[in-house]
Amino acid sequence: MHRRTALSVSAALLAAAPLLSACSGGARPGTAAVVGGERITTSALQAQVNEVRAAQNGAGEAASQLIQSSPGLERVKLNKLLQTAVLERAAKDAGITVSRRELEEYRDGQLQKAGGAERLRASALEQAHLAPGQVDADLRFKLLRDKLFAHYGSQDKAMDRLGEAAKALHIEVNPRYGVWDAQQIVLGDQVTPWITQRTRPGQAPAGA
């Protein structure tokens, strides 16, 4: 994936902060990733996956198709968590914030485009594998991303700053989920030959 578009397509997930816990060292059992010295636990990651699966299972006749269209959901969710952490760090370094009013106005605009809350939730579940409770965090991600791009005047310049933030966070990922590429800001495939995957999950860059 080209670096300048690595954050262009939404994958889902709540903001990373609530899923992070203190970690004195690198990855250990029960850890999906370590970000800036704090870990994302596998149980917290699985909880996010379970939210999506529950929403998909409640979609009636479309349930089976929705589930089949989202293989490798754990990796998709972890990728978004990592990208969210990087975005938050880059925004903080640039002094960029998102106020509650800005988020409300942005949400209103998205609701209008979608044709109402129900259609927005349905679209988010189908296109971005977002449970209803994960939509607001995704909207915040998009708004913060757009403000960062506007701040630097171009996506290329913003991506340079995001790359610096990614390296500063010293992200480590449990090999079962793939390999983190700090330059591309994406969770790529694990290339260790003795790790076999039945499916090849697509990479899931954040915020559409």
Query: Which of 51-65, 107-121, 183-197 has the weakest average pLDDT?
Result: 183-197
Whether the predicted pLDDT of 18 surpasses 50: no
- Determine the Cα–Cα distance for residues 134 and 52; give it in Å rounded to an integer: 9
Q: Give the bridge partners for 34, in sequence order.
A: 39, 172
Which comes out higher in pLDDT, residue 8 or 56? 56
Q: For residue 63, tell me if it sits in a domain.
A: yes
Whether the predicted pLDDT of 11 surpasses 90: no
Domain at 45, CATH number: 1.10.4030
Q: For residue 27, tell me if it sits in a domain.
A: yes
Q: Quote the pLDDT of residue 196.
A: 38
Give per-residue pLDDT as tens, 48-79: 999 999 999 999 999 999 999 999 999 999 99
If one counts the domains in the chain, the total is: 1
Q: For residue 199, tell me if it sits in a domain.
A: no
Six-digit token string for 20 = 């992070």
Q: For residue 196, tell me if it sits in a domain.
A: no
Whether the predicted pLDDT of 20 surpasses 90: no
> Which domain, by its residues, includes 115?
3-188
Give per-residue pLDDT as tens, 164-188: 999 999 999 999 999 999 888 999 8
Round the average pLDDT of the chain to a whole number and report it.
83
- Determine the Cα–Cα distance for residues 96 and 79; give it in Å rounded to an integer: 22
Q: For residue 169, tell me if it sits in a domain.
A: yes
CB count in 10 Å sphere of residue 71? 15
Q: How confident is the model at residue 5 (pLDDT cuts 50, 70, 90)?
A: very low
Six-digit token string for 68 = 């089949």
Under 8 Å between Cβ of 87 and 206: yes
